[in-house]
């Protein structure tokens, strides 16, 4: 193993595990190819950026599946995160999950055959993550999963299926919180393949905090106090009856506190079908926002109502009360130590919790271990330790 690598964040036992992983068949003889990052959807871009920047001295490529394609869901993120255009865009947009995943697999198989990656790096739980880990496993290319080990326990969520398969197939499982290690070891993952590195999404937040703070002071046309809403999970928005319960609850909330609601395309289509038309002076419905503006809104808000995974984490870092409209979370650390409250699936439960916040009894919480802006450097040290990095 290379001497200069700073692996001081690992315990002596963890270093021993890393050495064992390095000696394992998948990692024993790196092929000298580039590191290839696979992304497809909005939250991936926020996780890619810190590692891409940390790996700047080394050969690396970015492949975008094209799952998210609108400027507001993709292009604006690449710009704000200082990411170059992807080396390859597979333009796989829309369609069913099987169509999306299958087309991404076909494109990736050809790309991996041409690029001969030293390793493929996948992020989170979206369809391109699943597709890439499947293709890499069959082509005997080491697959590295950033944000491994999260489990909601709910197999009705497409993301949970993606997490389970990706973790089962990946060779190096990098977790954002220690509950991830416990989940993976309980499922029988090899101990040397599991490493706690911290939350990479928070790296981006930390790096852009000055811009976010500046943007928070410059946001215009906002009510003095407001609740930020963001919802897009199929379980909440795809079913008309469920969405109608949510909009009824939002109407009740808006009567007390104004709402700001940047709408995801999936949700927009369903809201249009429903014909929801709340009073414009109480509910600001807008397009999806760029990263800095959206986090600035979180910072300025009284509380956030969400079903997103990443937003549960960002609010925990920012110490903003977060009300999650779901029955489960794959991010329990945001509830156990952070500012997140899991409400269940009844939208009528939002208002009573919001009233507590209005009376000054919001949950503040604390920032979990290794959510410190340095996760990408810990990952880089591990990749260097495995001799996967070639000078650019
Ligand atoms: C995907 C991820 C989800 C993630 C979310 C973040 C999976 C299984 N789901 O869900 O984990 O939290 O992204 O946003 O990978 N659409 C547009 N423009 C776009 C992107 C999508 O109009 O730029 C439309 C699609 O055509 C589709 C709908 O929005 O009709 C949903 O998009 P899809 O990519 O299927 O899933 P998301 O709900 O975005």
Segment 328-372, tens digit of pLDDT: 999 999 999 999 999 999 999 999 999 999 999 988 899 999 999
Report the nearest-CA residue for atom 9 of ligand 1: 126
Cα–ligand 1 centroid distance for 55 (angstroms)? 28
Cα–ligand 1 centroid distance for 266 (angstroms)? 6
pLDDT average, residue stretch 94-108: 97
Least confident range of 1-5, 66-70, 248-252, 375-379:
1-5
User: Which ligand 1 atom is at minimum distance from the Cα of 67?
Assistant: 34
Summarize pLDDT for 141-162 with one digit per residue, the tens. 999 999 999 999 999 999 999 9
Tokens, residue 179: 């509950």
Confidence tier at 221 by pLDDT (50, 70, 90): confident
- Predicted confidence at residue 5, as pLDDT, reads 61
Distance CA 43, CA 126 (A): 9
b/e burial code for range 36-72 (CB count within 10 A of at least 16 → b): bbbbbbbbbbbbbbbbbbbbeebbbbbbbbbbbbeeb
Cα–ligand 1 centroid distance for 357 (angstroms)? 31
Cα–ligand 1 centroid distance for 27 (angstroms)? 34
Sequence-ordered alpha helix ranges (H) in 34-145: 42-54, 76-80, 97-115, 127-138
Sign of CA dihedral 101, 160, 337, 194: negative
Q: Which residues are catalytic?
A: 232
Q: What domains, with CATH codes, occur in the chain?
A: 7-198+371-385 (3.40.50.2000), 208-358 (3.40.50.2000)
68 contacts: CB under 8 Å, gap ≥ 6: 40, 41, 42, 74, 93
Q: Is the pLDDT of residue 4 over 90?
A: no
Distance CA 5, CA 383 (A): 9
Decide: helix, strand or coil at residue 158.
Answer: helix
Summarize pLDDT for 6-48 with one digit per residue, the tens. 899 999 999 999 999 999 999 999 999 999 999 999 999 999 9
Question: Mean of the per-residue pLDDT values for the chain?
Answer: 96
CB 143 within 8 A of CB 137: yes
Q: Is the pLDDT of residue 3 over 50?
A: no
User: Which ligand 1 atom is at minimum distance from the Cα of 124?
Assistant: 11
Q: Is the pLDDT of residue 2 over 50?
A: no
331 lines ligand 1 (CB under 6 A): no
**Of 4 and 190, which is predicted with more confidence?**
190
pLDDT average, residue stretch 109-115: 98
In the chain, the percentage of residues whose pLDDT exceeds 90 is 97
Summarize pLDDT for 288-299 with one digit per residue, the tens. 999 999 999 999
Summarize pLDDT for 253-285 with one digit per residue, the tens. 999 999 999 999 999 999 999 999 999 999 999
User: Which ligand 1 atom is at minimum distance from the Cα of 233?
Assistant: 38
50 lines ligand 1 (CB under 6 A): no
pLDDT average, residue stretch 64-85: 98
């Amino acid at each position: 193993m290379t001497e200069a690598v700073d692996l001081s964040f690992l315990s002596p036992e963890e270093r021993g595990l890393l050495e064992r992983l390095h000696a394992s068949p998948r990692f024993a003889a790196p092929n000298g190819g580039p590191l290839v990052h696979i992304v497809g959807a909005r939250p991936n871009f926020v996780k890619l950026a810190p590692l891409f920047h940390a790996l700047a001295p080394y050969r690396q490529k970015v492949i975008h599946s094209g799952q998210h394609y609108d400027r507001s869901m993709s292009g604006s993120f690449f710009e704000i995160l200082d990411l170059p255009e992807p080396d390859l865009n597979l333009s796989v947009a829309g369609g069913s999950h099987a169509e999306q995943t299958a087309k991404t697999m076909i494109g990736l198989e050809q790309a991996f055959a041409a690029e001969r990656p030293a390793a493929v790096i996948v992020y989170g739980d979206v369809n391109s993550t699943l597709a890439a880990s499947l293709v890499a496993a069959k082509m005997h290319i080491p697959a590295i999963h950033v944000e491994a080990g999260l489990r909601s326990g709910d197999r009705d969520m497409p993301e949970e299926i993606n997490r389970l398969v990706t973790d089962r197939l990946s060779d190096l499982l990098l977790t954002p919180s220690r509950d991830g290690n416990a989940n993976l070891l309980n499922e029988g993952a090899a101990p040397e393949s599991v490493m706690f590195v911290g939350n990479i999404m928070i790296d981006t937040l930390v790096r852009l905090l000055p811009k976010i703070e500046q943007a928070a002071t410059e946001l215009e046309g906002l009510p003095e106090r407001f609740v930020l809403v963001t919802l897009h999970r199929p379980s909440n928005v795809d079913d008309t009856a469920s969405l109608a319960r949510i909009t009824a609850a939002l109407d009740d909330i808006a009567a007390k506190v104004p709402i700001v609601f940047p709408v995801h395309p999936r949700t927009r289509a369903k809201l249009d079908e429903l014909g929801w038309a709340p009073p414009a002076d109480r509910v600001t419905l807008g397009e999806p926002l760029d990263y800095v503006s959206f986090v600035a809104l979180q910072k300025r808000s009284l509380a956030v109502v969400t079903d997103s995974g990443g937003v549960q984490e960002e609010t925990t870092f920012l110490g903003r009360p977060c009300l999650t409209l779901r029955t489960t979370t794959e991010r329990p650390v945001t509830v156990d130590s952070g500012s997140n409250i899991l409400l269940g699936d009844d939208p009528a439960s939002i208002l009573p919790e919001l009233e507590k916040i209005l009376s000054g009894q919001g949950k503040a919480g604390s920032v979990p271990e290794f959510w410190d802006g340095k996760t990408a450097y810990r990952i880089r040290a591990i990749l260097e330790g495995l001799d996967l990095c070639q000078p650019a």
